[in-house]
Amino acid sequence: MLQPLPLSRLRLYIVTFDLNQPSPGDLRYRRVDGYLRTVGAVVRPCKQTRMVVTRSNAAGLRAGIRSIIGARGDIAVFPVSRRSSMDIRDPGIRAAVRQAIARHGFP
């Protein structure tokens, strides 16, 4: 599996992906989650959306996910900043997201 190149400081990204022709219980979802946990701390604010605190860069994250889901399917990796806006109703998830943005969001 590809490992993203390390950076000097922790960064926060929103990562979302869409599998091509998924089946119920598709193992690729768990494999992507497992991969993201190997490169950083993961929060799941919404379905098929992850927030990852990592030293890796966006291109490395995309390449790692692509190696799991294959050539078909879609991947998006976005940096999160303190100016990002989210409306998450679950209090536990909302607290984790706010804490991650406060600690690791880009200026």
CATH number at residue 48: 3.30.70.240
Per-residue pLDDT, 37: 95
Query: Is residue 23 one of the residues assigned to a domain?
Result: yes
* Beta sheet of 40-46, edge-to-edge order: 40-46, 49-56, 6-18, 74-79
For the chain, residues with pLDDT lower than 70 are 1-8, 107
Residue-range definition of the domain harbouring residue 95: 6-104
- Three-state secondary structure readout of the chain: CCCCCEEEEEEEEEEEEECCCCCCCCHHHHHHHHHHHHHEEEEEEECCEEEEEEEECHHHHHHHHHHHHCCCCEEEEEECECCCCCCCCCHHHHHHHHHHHHHHCEC
Per-residue pLDDT, 2: 57
Query: Is residue 17 one of the residues assigned to a domain?
Result: yes
Per-residue pLDDT, 68: 95
Query: Is residue 1 one of the residues assigned to a domain?
Result: no
Query: Is residue 58 one of the residues assigned to a domain?
Result: yes
Q: What is the mean pLDDT of the chain?
A: 87
Per-residue pLDDT, 102: 87
Domain count, the chain: 1
Per-residue pLDDT, 83: 85
Per-residue pLDDT, 1: 54
Query: Is residue 70 one of the residues assigned to a domain?
Result: yes
